[in-house]
Structures are given as structure tokens and as C-alpha cells.
């Protein structure tokens, strides 16, 4: 009821103000009227977003749990040198990890392939756009990054790992699905089913996947994956295995899978629209020249949609940097799965507002470059 009253009052005030302006002399009235339209939004944004954001930054540089002491940078230095935030211990382990060695080998193979492909077309350099090189290159980069993020621990590293995994896999899956669906008779039904997880809450998704990951116990049936997994049950979320071992930090990956499950549908729909936007004449011309379907995709369709791929990747990156609900509802940040937004919440919950402000500002710092890139591209496209 109060809601109806509030909305009615809002519309009423707006109408009355406008009718009052109608009474004023034309010239004065038309000067004031724009502000009646704009000021509610601007005041709202200032009071609820702009001023609080500035205050959060200031708070992150003040002492005491509520900023009651003066200026200090110790909040930041303390957190950034904290091993659970930005741990650097054992960083040399990166270079000896199997993933890293695998990545280096794959990069070498990819470069050899690129050279061979370029030589075949009489090109002196490297041909980096072919399917083999692209896929192997992506695989190698992924392997090296996984080596980094499984060796270095801490919430910042975790957040970055999230970005790589979710943005990378969702985009790859989305692209594959968009291409497959483009050839299909039942395109819209298939796309609807893949896209469906976008509609539900992250908390709901966490519950859905609980029944995939659950460990069996006296009062809990084992989840599907635990039944299918060869060799003993594993707590995929908390990382402990039946034999007392641990799969940490790979338990992070199983939480990220849930996010990929949700976001692949988003990537698919955006990329699908972009693929349909590529002029069909281009592909037809290539086919007449003897190109096969794979070549048409890798040499014509993909280069045409790179800017959309960039949009998808940056959008996912920003979403993932703020990830909170999923971690909170699955592992609660335990077992090495903590992320920045959860640290921020923990600060707030325990009454340490300065700490919360520091972690919120860290998210801002990570998001800003991407947003800058986004806004610049938007305005460039708007100008074009």
C-alpha cells in the first residue's frame, strides 16, 4: 500500500509542478521546466551513488574501523601485503608446474603451425588467424594463466582467475553454440533452453548445482557428478576428498563452472546476433572460390565479429569482478575460494567499515580500466 501511495505521490508532485510552470510566464516557465524533469534523477544519483562512492574511497584511506581516525594508507598497504589477499609465496613454483610446461610446449607447436601455414601461402611471416593456431594459442595462454592462478593464492588472484575462466569459457561456449544453432532447424528452442539460466538468480543456480556436486552422507544423497566421478567421492566445493586429500585450489573451478553455465547463454545470444549480421555475400563469394565451411568461419565470420567478441568479454569481466552471490551461497568463501566482494561483505558484517571500503575500492580499481575502454569504444561507435 505504501508503495502505491509513494508512486502516486511521485506522479502527483511531477504533474503539479508542471501545471504550476504552465501558470508562469512562458519564458520563465520553459527555463525551469527542464530541471523538473532532470533534477529527481540527478539528485537521486548523487545521493545514492556518486557521494557514497566518493565517501567510500575517502573512508578506505582513514584509520579506525569507522574512519574515526585521520588519513592513513596503512589499510591499503596492510591488505595488499596480506598473504590471503595478494599472496606471492612460492611464485617460482609457476615455472615448474606441469600446466606451465604444457603451455610452453603448446605455444611452440602453435608457432610452428603458424609458420607452416604462412609458408604454404608464400607469406614470409606468421599466419596467426588460422583455426589451429588460434585454438592452440588460446589453450596455451589458458594453461599458463592456470599455472599462475593455481600457484599464487589470495582473493585478488582468485578474482582474476574467475575473470579468465568465466569470460574465456563462456565466450568460447557461446560462440560454439551460436555457430551450431545457426545451422539448426530448431534454433530458437535450443537457444531458449541454453539461455534460460540467465533468468534465475545466482542463489537459485547455486542450489541447482548443489545437487550436482553434493557429497553423499547419512542425510544427503550424493550429487550426480559425485556418482559419475571415477575413484572416490570428492567435495567439489570444499575441496576435500574421501581419502583425506584435497583438490584445492581446483574447487574454485567447480564454482566457476556454475557461472559459465549461466553466462554462456548470454554470450551465445549476443554472438549469434552478430553472426547473423555478417553479410551472407561474403561467405558465398568465398565458397564459390572453393573455401569450405571451416575456412568461411575462421577467415570470414570470426574476423567480422571481433568487436562483438570484445563486448562480450569485457561485459563478462565486469560482471565477474563483482561476483558475490555464487561464492556466498556455495562455499561461503571457505577453503580458499574467497573473492573481493565477499571480503567487502565480511568487513561490513563485522562492523569494520574501513576494511569494507578498501575491498570495495579494489573492485573499483579493477573495473575502471575496462569501463574506460567500454565507454571510449561506445563513444567512438556513436561518432562513427
φ, ψ for residue 68, nearest 5 deg: -75, -20
Could you give the 3-state DSSP secondary structure of residue 62? strand
Site map (CB under 8 A) of other proteins, residues 133-152, x = contact: --------------------
Q: Using alpha carbons only, how large is the chain's radius of gyration in Å?
A: 26
What is the size of the binding site for other proteins (CB under 8 A)?
128
Site map (CB under 8 A) of other proteins, residues 243-272, x = contact: ------------------x--x-x--xx-x
Site map (CB under 8 A) of other proteins, residues 16-45, x = contact: --xx-xx-------xx-xxxxxx-xxx-xx
Cell numbers for 323, please give them.
Answer: 561476483
Most distant pair of Cα atoms in the chain: their distance: 84
Question: Is residue 173 within 8 Å of residue 195, measured between CB atoms?
Answer: no
Minimal distance, residue 168 CB to other proteins, in Å = 17
Q: Give 369: exposed, middle or buried? Use CB within 10 Å, 0-12, 13-18, 19+.
A: exposed
Site for other proteins in 74-133 (CB under 8 A): none
**Of 50-58, 86-94, 129-137, 239-247, which segment contacts other proteins by CB under 8 A?**
50-58
Q: What is the DSSP letter of 297?
A: I
**Of 71-79, 93-101, 242-250, 362-370, which segment contacts other proteins by CB under 8 A?**
362-370
The label of the residue with cell 542425510 reads: 219
In the complex with other proteins, the residue whose CB is nearer, 164 or 362, is 362
Question: Is residue 348 within 8 Å of residue 364, measured between CB atoms?
Answer: no
DSSP bridge partners of 240:
246
Site map (CB under 8 A) of other proteins, residues 303-322, x = contact: -----x--x---x--xx-xx
Binding to other proteins by residue 13, rule CB under 8 A?
Answer: no
Neighbours of 130 (CB within 10 A): 19
Minimal distance, residue 204 CB to other proteins, in Å = 5
Q: Give 149: exposed, middle or buried? Use CB within 10 Å, 0-12, 13-18, 19+.
A: buried
Distance CA 193, CA 186 (A): 11
In the complex with other proteins, the residue whose CB is nearer, 88 or 180, is 180
In the complex with other proteins, the residue whose CB is nearer, 62 or 116, is 62
Question: Is residue 335 within 8 Å of residue 238, measured between CB atoms?
Answer: yes
Q: Give 272: exposed, middle or buried? Use CB within 10 Å, 0-12, 13-18, 19+.
A: buried
Site for other proteins in 183-242 (CB under 8 A): 183-188, 190-204, 206-212, 219-224, 227
Q: What is the DSSP letter of 221?
A: P
Binding to other proteins by residue 341, rule CB under 8 A?
Answer: yes
Minimal distance, residue 199 CB to other proteins, in Å = 4
Distance CA 340, CA 335 (A): 15
φ, ψ for residue 350, nearest 5 deg: -90, 10
Pick the binder of other proteins from 146, 236, 254, 345 (CB under 8 A).
Answer: 345
Minimal distance, residue 39 CB to other proteins, in Å = 9
In the complex with other proteins, the residue whose CB is nearer, 117 or 308, is 308
Neighbours of 234 (CB within 10 A): 23
Element counts in the chain: helices (H) and strands (E): 21, 0
Pick the binder of other proteins from 145, 166, 302, 360 (CB under 8 A).
Answer: 360
Site for other proteins in 273-302 (CB under 8 A): 273-274, 276-277, 280, 283-284, 287, 293, 296
Site for other proteins in 153-182 (CB under 8 A): 176-177, 179-182
Cell numbers for 4, please give them.
Answer: 502505491
Minimal distance, residue 108 CB to other proteins, in Å = 30
Query: Of 368, 370, 342, which is closest to residue 355 (Cα–Cα)?
Result: 342
Minimal distance, residue 203 CB to other proteins, in Å = 5
Minimal distance, residue 105 CB to other proteins, in Å = 28
In the complex with other proteins, the residue whose CB is nearer, 42 or 88, is 42
In the complex with other proteins, the residue whose CB is nearer, 109 or 208, is 208
Amino acid at each position: 500500500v505504501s508503495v502505491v501511495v509513494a508512486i502516486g505521490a511521485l506522479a502527483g508532485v511531477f504533474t503539479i509542478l508542471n501545471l504550476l510552470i504552465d501558470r508562469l510566464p512562458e519564458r520563465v516557465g520553459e527555463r525551469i521546466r527542464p530541471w523538473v524533469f532532470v533534477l529527481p534523477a540527478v539528485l537521486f544519483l548523487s545521493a545514492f551513488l556518486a557521494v557514497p562512492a566518493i565517501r567510500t574511497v575517502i573512508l578506505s584511506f582513514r584509520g579506525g574501523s569507522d574512519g574515526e581516525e585521520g588519513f592513513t594508507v596503512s589499510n591499503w598497504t596492510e591488505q595488499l601485503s596480506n598473504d590471503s589477499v595478494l599472496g606471492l609465496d612460492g611464485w617460482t613454483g609457476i615455472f615448474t608446474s606441469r600446466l606451465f610446461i604444457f603451455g610452453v610446449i603448446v605455444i611452440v607447436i602453435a608457432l610452428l603451425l603458424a609458420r607452416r601455414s604462412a609458408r604454404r601461402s608464400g607469406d614470409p611471416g606468421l599466419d596467426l588467424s588460422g583455426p589451429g593456431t588460434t585454438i592452440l594459442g588460446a589453450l596455451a595462454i589458458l594453461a599458463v594463466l592456470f599455472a599462475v592462478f593455481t600457484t599464487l593464492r589470495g582473493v585478488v588472484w582468485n578474482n582474476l582467475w574467475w575473470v579468465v575462466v568465466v569470460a574465456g569459457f563462456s565466450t568460447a561456449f557461446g560462440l560454439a553454440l551460436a555457430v551450431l544453432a545457426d545451422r539448426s532447424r530448431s534454433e530458437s528452442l535450443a537457444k531458449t533452453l541454453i539461455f534460460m539460466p540467465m533468468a534465475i538468480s545466482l542463489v537459485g543456480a547455486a542450489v541447482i548445482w548443489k545437487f550436482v556436486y553434493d557429497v553423499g552422507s547419512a542425510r544427503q544423497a550424493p550429487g550426480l557428478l559425485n556418482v559419475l566421478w571415477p575413484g572416490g567421492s570428492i567435495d567439489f566445493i570444499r575441496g576435500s576428498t574421501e581419502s583425506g586429500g584435497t583438490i584445492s585450489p581446483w574447487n574454485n573451478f567447480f564454482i566457476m563452472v556454475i557461472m559459465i553455465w549461466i553466462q554462456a547463454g548470454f554470450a551465445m545470444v549476443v554472438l549469434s546476433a552478430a553472426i547473423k549480421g555478417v553479410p551472407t555475400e561474403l561467405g558465398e563469394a568465398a565458397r564459390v572460390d572453393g573455401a569450405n565451411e571451416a575456412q568461411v568461419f575462421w577467415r570470414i565470420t570470426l574476423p567480422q565479429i571481433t568487436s562483438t567478441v570484445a563486448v562480450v568479454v569485457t561485459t563478462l569481466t565486469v560482471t565477474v569482478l563483482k561476483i558475490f552471490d555464487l561464492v556466498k551461497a556455495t562455499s561461503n568463501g571457505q577453503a580458499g575460494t574467497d573473492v573481493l566482494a565477499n571480503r567487502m561483505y565480511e568487513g561490513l558484517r563485522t562492523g569494520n567499515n574501513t576494511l569494507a571500503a578498501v575491498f570495495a575500492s579494489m573492485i573499483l580499481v579493477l573495473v575502471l580500466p575496462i569501463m574506460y575502454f567500454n565507454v571510449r569504444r561506445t563513444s567512438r561507435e556513436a561518432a562513427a
